Amino acid sequence: MVKLILQRLLQMALIMAVVSFVLFLVFDSPKFKKQLAVNDLGGFAVATLTQSDYQAWLAAKGLNVPFYERYGNWLVGIAHGDFGRSFQKNEDVGFLLGRALVKTGILAFWVFALMIPLALVTGVFAGISEGRVQDRAITFMSVVFTSIPEIATAIILTVIFALGLGWLPAKSKGDGLEYIILPVLTLVLYDFGYVARMTRASVAEVMTSQYIRTAVLKGIPYRRVVMKHVLRNALIAPFTVIVLQLNWLLSGVVVVEVFFQYDGFGKLLLDAALFGDLYVVQAATLAAVLVAVLSQLISDIGYTFLNPRIRFS
Amino acid sequence: MSMASDAAAAAPAPKPGEGGSEVPVLECRNLCISYFTRAGEIPAVVDFNLKLMPGESHGIVGESGCGKSTVALAIMQYMGKNGRIVGGEILFNGRDMREMNEEELRQIRGSQIAMVYQEPMASLNPAMRVGDQLAEVPIYHDGATKEEALARARAMLESVRLPEPDRILRSYPHQISGGQQQRVVIAMALLSSPKLLLLDEPTTALDVTVEAGIVDLIREIADEYGTSMIYISHNLGLILETCDRITVMYSGEAVEVGTVNDVFDAMRHPYTQGLFASIPLPHADKNARPLVAITGQLPLPHERPPGCNFGPRCDHFLAGLCDSGEIPMLPITGDDRHYSRCVRIEEIDWQAAAGEGIVKSAAPPGDVVLKVDEMTKHYEIEEGAIFFAGEKKTVKANERLSFEAREAETVAIVGESGCGKSTFAKVLMGLEEATSGEVLLGNVELGKMPVEKRSPETIAKLQMIFQNPFDTLNPSHTVGGQIARVIKKFGVEKDEEKINQRVLELLDIVKLPRDFAKRRPRQLSGGQKQRVGIARAFAGNPSVVIADEPVSALDVSVQAAVTELLMDIQRENRTTLLFISHDLSVVRYLADRIVVMYLGQIMEQGTTEEIFSPPYHPYTEALLSAVPIADTKVKKRHIVLSGEIPSASNPPEGCPFCTRCPYVIEGTCETVPPPIRAFGPGHLIACHLSEETLKAMQPVIQIGEGPIPAEADRDAEKGEQVSPVAAAESERRSDV
C-alpha cells in the first residue's frame, strides 16, 4: 500500500514536471513575449517601440536570458509562491489564484455536500429496485436533469427564485450563504443525475451477483444484505467517478460562475484568457492540472483501498 | 474425527417416538416452475416430485437447461424477478414453503436449509473477510456475539479440514485457492447444522484431485451429521459416489427416479440408457466398443414436443403412443420407489444395449510426426517496482518436456490446472516461444518460430480445436465464410468455385447440413459450433491437430457425438491428435498414449494400457483414484491427496509433486529432481521410488466382482491408503 502511494506520488511529480515544462515552453515564444510587452506597456506604446528599446525592455524583465535559466527562475518563483503579476488586475497572481480557489472551493464543498448524498441514496434505491416503478422514476428524473445544460438550468432558476419570487439574489456578488444557493443548486441538479445513474448501474449489477444470492440464502436480514454486502461492492465504481467530479467543479463550471458573476476559479481563468493576462493563465492552468492529477491520485488510492482484490495482490 | 466436536451438539438426531411414520425433510409434489419473459411463459420445470427422508442423499442429474438448478433455487424460494412456482407444492418438514412470509423464509434459509454453489469464488463476497462472512450465520440465526460466532467459524473451518483456520478467517476470498473457497462455502452452509443441504454442482469448477477431497468431505458430512442432501450434478460418477437415490431429469421433467443401484444397473428410461451409453465408462473402447451418441438435440423449453419430451430422440419412439397426452411417472414393479416417465417400460428389451456402436478397426500408427525434445518454457514476471525493474521471478510453465507423437496416433496430455498443458499448446501453435529445447514437426523446428514467421503450409499442418466453441467463432461472419477464409489463407484452393465446393465437403464431413454455410454462429447450438471448429481445423489437411478439451464445454449427450466425429475424421485422414484434457475417462477411451503432467513437468508417459495399470507414478495413482466412474461394478482404491497444487512461480526444488505425495521420501524428494525410470519402451516414470516399489503397486481401478483389496480401507483413516510396500520403503528411506 505504502509502495503504491509512493509509486503514484512519483508518477504525479513526473507529470507535473512535464506539464510545467510544456506550459512554460508554450508561453515562452516571441509572440507571447510581445503580448507581455503589450500587457506591460500598452498596445500603442509597443507598436512605437524600436528594436533596441524592445531588447532593453526584455532585459529589464529578465526575458533575454537563456531558456533553461528562465524556466529555473520560474520554478523557483513558484516554489516561493511568486506566480508573477496580473496586469489586468494589478495584483499578485498568487493572491488572485488563492482567492479564486477558495471561492470555488466553497462552491464545490456545497455541491459535494448536497450532490453526493442525494445521488448515492437515489442511485442505490433505484439499483436495488431495478426495473420497478421507483427505479424508472429516478432514472427518468436523472436523465432529464443531466440532459438540460447548466446555462438553461441557471436561467430557469434565476427566473423563478430571483426575478419571480425574489427570494434570492440573481448575482452572486457577496459573501453570504444566500449568494451561492443558486449556483450550487444549478450544479447539483446537473451533476447528481450522472452520479446517480452510475451508482444505480453499479448497484444493479452487484444485486445480480452470486455472492448476493449467497448472502440472501444464508438468511441474513435484507437490510444487512444491502448495507453490508451490496454497498461495499457497489460503491467502488461510483467512488472513482465522484472524485473525478472534483476536476469538473474546478474548471468545468465556467458557465455557471460567469452567469452568476461568481468570482471563482473558472471566472478568473476566463477573464484572464480574454484579456491575455499571461501569468494568470499560466498559473491557473498549472493549478487545474495539479487538481486533476491529485484527484486521479485520490481515486486511484481510494479504489485500491476499497477493492481488496487489488489491495492484496 | 474432528468433525464430531462441533457438530455433535447440533446434529439433527432422528426424533424418537415418531418411529415408522417419519416426516420427509423435503417433499416436492407436482412442482411446476415457469419463467416469465417477453416471449411469454416458459415452463422450466414441469410436474416434479421428490421425497427426501431424513439422512437421505438424493442426486439430481441432467444436462444444461434440464431444470435441475431451478429446482434447487425453487426450494430456496429464490427465483429472481421473473421466475415463479405455478403449480404444486414444496413441503419442508411438512410445511408448505410457498405459504411462508419473507421473515419465516429468512429464518429457514441458511439455518435449516443451506446451499453450496457451483462457483465458490463468485459465491463469496470479494470485499469481505472470510471470517466475517462465516460469522454472519451464527450471529443472525443463533444470536451469537461476534466472538462466539468467530470461534464457531474457526472450529467449523477445522472440521472441513482447512489448514491454518486463523489465516483463512482473516483472508479475503481471492487470497485462498478454489478448493479452499469451496470448503469455506461448505463450512458456511454447515455452521447452523442444517437439516437439508443443497449442493449445486459443488465440484464442477475444481480440479479432479481437489474434487475428490470435497466429495470425501461431503460423504463424511452425510455420515456424521445425518444431514439430508440434494446433490445436483451433470456427472453420473459423482452421484454414484455420494447419493442413495437419484432423479434423472430431461428437458424440465424428471424422467426416472430410483435408488442409485436400480437406476445405474436396471434403468427403465431410454434417456437414462442413452446417457450411460454416451459416457466413456471403463468397458468402452474406441475401436471395439465405441460410444453411442444420442441423436438429435435437446429441445428448447418453448419448443418441446407433445407427449414424451425425449420422443424425437428415442429409438423406441412409437407414433400415436409416445406423442399423445401427458406421460405420467410410472412405477416399476419389484423395485423400491423406482419410477420412469416412459409408457413403453414393459415392451422395451432393457437387456439389449442401447444400439451397439459401429465397430471400427484400429489405425496402426505410422512414423513420428511431432517430436518434442527437452522443451522448456519459462516466463519472467516482475514484482512491482516503482520505475526500474524489480525482483524477477521465473514461472516454470514447461520444464524439459520430451515426447513423440506418431502419424494417426492420439496422444493425450493430462493434468490439472497449472500443469502447463495450455502453455505447451501455445508454444506449439507459435503464440509463445520456447525458452530452450526443440519442437520438431517433420523436420521444421517450431519451438522458436512464432506464428507470424511460419509459412502458411506449416500453419495449415498444425491446427487447433479450442475448448470453448462459443467464443472461438466470429459472431459477425457466416460459418461458410469462416471456413472458406481458412481454405484461402492456407492456399488449399484458389478458385472461388472450388473453395465453396470444399466448404460444403467439410460441412458434410462434420455432419452438418450444407445450408449451415450461410448461417451465423449464434444460430448454432454448442455441439454444432464445435463441429464448425473441427471443420475449420481440418480445412487445411493438417497432419497434427491439437484439441484443447474439445468437448468439456458441451453437454454429455452431445459430447459423445462430437468425440466420435473427431475420431472418425482423424482415422480417415491419419491425423495425429494431441488431446489435452483433465478428464481421464475420456482420455482412457480415445488415447493411444498418455502424457501425465504436473506443475509443468511430465510425471509419467506410456500407452493408455500402461498408464492405467501399475506401476504408477504416485500422482497418476491419485489421479486415477480421483476420477468418478459411473459404474457400480467398478471398485477403486481410495486415495485422496491433501493440500493444494503449488504455484508455478514457486515450485518445489525437487519433485514438483513432493508437497502432496503420500509416498514422499523426506530429505530426497524435496531437494533432488526425480530420476526418470523406464518400464518398457516408452513407459517412463519420473520418481524417486525404487523400481521394485513402483512395480509392487496395486491396480487402482478394478472392474467386476473380484476381490477389492482397498474396499476395507475406505473407512480407515484418510491418507493411509497407499500400498504397504511403498509405504514401507518410504519409511525406510526417510530414516536413512
Q: What is the per-residue pLDDT across B678-721, written as a single tens digit (0 to 9) for each?
A: 998 889 999 999 988 888 888 888 887 544 444 334 443 444 45
CA B308 to CA B305: how far, in whole Å?
Answer: 7
Q: What pLDDT does residue B723 have? A: 54
pTM, two decimals, is 0.82
**Residue whose entry in the numeric block shows the C-alpha cell 427403465:** B268
CA separation for the pair B314, B411 (Å, rounded):
34
A308 at interface of B, judged by CB pairs closer than 8 A: yes
Q: Is the pLDDT of residue B505 over 70?
A: yes
Asked if A7 and B384 come within 8 Å (Cβ–Cβ), the reply is yes
Give the pLDDT score at B470.
78
Whether residue B387 and residue A10 make contact (CB cut-off 8 A), yes or no, is yes
Q: Return the C-alpha cell found at A264.
A: 471563482
User: Grid coordinates in use for A218?
Assistant: 444464508
| Interface with chain A: mutation pick from B82, B115, B132, B136, highest number of A CBs within 10 Å | B136
ipTM: 0.80
Per-residue confidence at B585, pLDDT binned at 50, 70, 90?
A: confident
C-alpha cell at B128: 469481505
Mean pLDDT taken over chain B: 84
Query: If you search the block for the grid coordinates 516554489, which residue do you land on?
Result: A79
Contacts of A132 (CB under 8 A, 6+ apart): none
Answer yes or no: do A308 and B174 touch at CB < 8 A. yes
- pLDDT for the residue B736: 39
Closest alpha carbon to B169 in B180, B157, B159: B157
Q: What domains lie within chain A, and their CATH numbers?
A: 2-79 (no CATH), 93-306 (1.10.3720.10)
Place of cell 472470510: B130
Using a CB-CB cut-off of 8 Å, the residues of chain B touching A237 are none
* pLDDT on residue B607: 93
CA-closest candidate to residue B137, choices B182, B175, B193: B193
Per-residue pLDDT reduced to its tens digit, B339-397: 999 888 888 877 776 556 667 777 788 888 899 999 999 988 766 544 455 567 788 88
- Mean pLDDT (whole number) for B56-78: 89
Q: What is the pLDDT of residue B421?
A: 87
Of the two residues B414 and A65, the one the predictor is more confident about is B414
Q: What is the pLDDT along chain A (313 residues), one digit of tens a residue?
A: 677 788 888 888 898 889 888 888 887 777 777 777 777 777 777 777 777 887 887 777 777 777 788 888 888 888 887 777 777 777 787 888 888 888 888 888 898 899 999 999 999 999 988 888 989 999 998 899 888 888 888 888 888 888 888 787 777 777 777 788 888 888 888 888 889 999 999 999 999 899 999 999 999 999 999 989 999 899 888 888 888 888 888 877 888 888 888 888 888 888 888 877 778 888 888 888 888 888 888 888 888 888 887 766 5
- Using the Cα atoms of residue A231, residue A232, residue A234 and residue A240 in order, give the sign of their dihedral: positive
Residue B520 CA to residue B506 CA, distance in Å, equals 16
Q: Which amino acid belongs to residue B634?
A: V
Contact B425, B546 (CB under 8 A): yes
Q: Quick one: which of B99, B94, B62, B51 has its CA closest to B77?
A: B99
| Whether pLDDT at B584 is above 80 | yes
Q: pLDDT value at position B575?
A: 92
Quote the percentage of chain B above a pLDDT of 70: 90
Residue B208: what pLDDT? 84
DSSP secondary structure letters along A242-274: HHHHHHHHHHS-HHHHHHTT--SHHHHHHHHHH
Q: H or E segment at B579?
A: strand B576-581
Contacts of A219 in chain B (CB under 8 A): 106-111, 137, 140-141
Residues ≥6 apart with Cβ < 8 Å to A6: B386
Task: Look at B19-23, B345-349, B480-484, B716-720 and tell me which has the smallest mean pLDDT.
Answer: B716-720
Q: What is residue B397's predicted lDDT score, i.e. its pLDDT? A: 86
Encode pLDDT of B211-231 as tens digits.
888 888 888 888 888 889 999
d(CA B269, CA B698): 37
Long-range contacts of B654-662 (CB under 8 A, 24+ apart): B655/B686, B655/B687, B655/B688, B656/B598, B656/B599, B656/B600, B656/B601, B656/B603, B657/B598, B657/B599, B657/B603, B657/B617, B657/B618, B657/B619, B660/B209, B660/B622, B661/B618, B661/B619, B662/B618, B662/B622, B662/B719, B662/B721, B662/B722, B662/B727
Cell of B438: 526443440
Burial pattern A156-192, b for ≥16 Cβ within 10 A else e, equals: ebbeebbeeeeebbbebeeeeeebbbbbbbbbbbbbb
Residue B336 has pLDDT above 60, yes or no: yes
Average pLDDT on B120-133 reads 92
Q: What are phi and psi of B26, to 5 degrees?
A: -140, 140
pLDDT higher than 90, residue B326: no
Termini Cα distance of chain A: 11
End-to-end CA distance of chain B: 33
Q: What does the longest C-alpha to C-alpha distance in chain A come to?
A: 87
CA of A239 to nearest chain B CA: how many angstroms apart?
15
Interface of A with B in 192-251 (CB under 8 A): 209-211, 213-222, 224, 228-229, 232-233, 236
In this model, does residue B192 exceed pLDDT 50?
Answer: yes
pLDDT at A107: 87
Task: Return the H-helix or E-strand segment holding A194.
Answer: helix A181-207
User: Are the beta carbons of A294 and A286 closer than 8 angstroms?
Assistant: no
